[in-house]
Amino acid sequence: MEEINMIASYPANPMSIELTFGHRRFWWQDNDNPPPHHVDVSADVWEYIECPPELRHVGDLTLAIADLEYPSSELDSVSVGEHAMMFLTQRGVSPDGTLHPDLDDLISPGPPRAIVLRWVELSSYWRGRGVGPGLVAAALTTFKKSARLGLCHLTAADIEEYYPDRSDAEEMVEHLATLLKSLGFIPWGDAYVIDLRNDSLTQARRRTIERFERYFSDFN
């Protein structure tokens, strides 16, 4: 009965959720150098799967791709986020694009780019249903061949646009920190970092897949 109730509580099989990646950049960014740019990720139930229209959208992620060898400017903080840019320029990355020696020891070799997780939010109906870790892990591992480092530096001040109430913002930051740790992110100074080739991301995806395959094998 518990498994039946679980299945009935979902508007569609979570295995039918697809990720759509969209690239954005500011007008003043050009092709001569690879400055930071946005990648918006939308998670939605596949259009050919039956689902109530108002529940089809599952969530959103906002990422920024930063080239560690490209000289940064103040304008880059608009794309990457002020605190994440401070981490990259003052704590984690040398002017020549190399990582801090202690951080370098934790991250496997790869292209000198960082994927900054700027924001993640699930639609209200999909929260607490176990899809978040798998979706974030899937989005990040998309870049494991083209980037080296995953980074998240989020404070209550960063999300005041979404959570004007300070206590709500702080609670959301704590929730995100818990999510990041479950994916294998480790604290580094006042940020969280991860090797994008870390097996913990693959394991997080696998745990989510196995969970839903178990409960939804007969879902129609």
Residues 36-82: pLDDT tens digits?
578 899 999 999 999 999 999 999 998 988 877 764 544 444 445 55
Judge contact between 80 and 36, C-beta under 8 A.
Answer: yes
pTM: 0.82
How far is CA 113 from its chain centroid?
Answer: 15
* Number of C-beta neighbours around residue 105 at 10 A: 8
**Pairing label, strands 37-45, 57-67:** antiparallel
Farthest CA pair distance, the chain: 60
pLDDT digits (tens, 9 = 90+) for 100-158: 788 888 899 988 888 989 889 999 999 888 899 999 999 999 999 999 999 888 777 77
Rounded CA separation 141/58 (Å):
19
More confident call, 3 vs 188: 188
> Which structural domains are found in the chain, ordered by start?
2-216 (3.40.630)
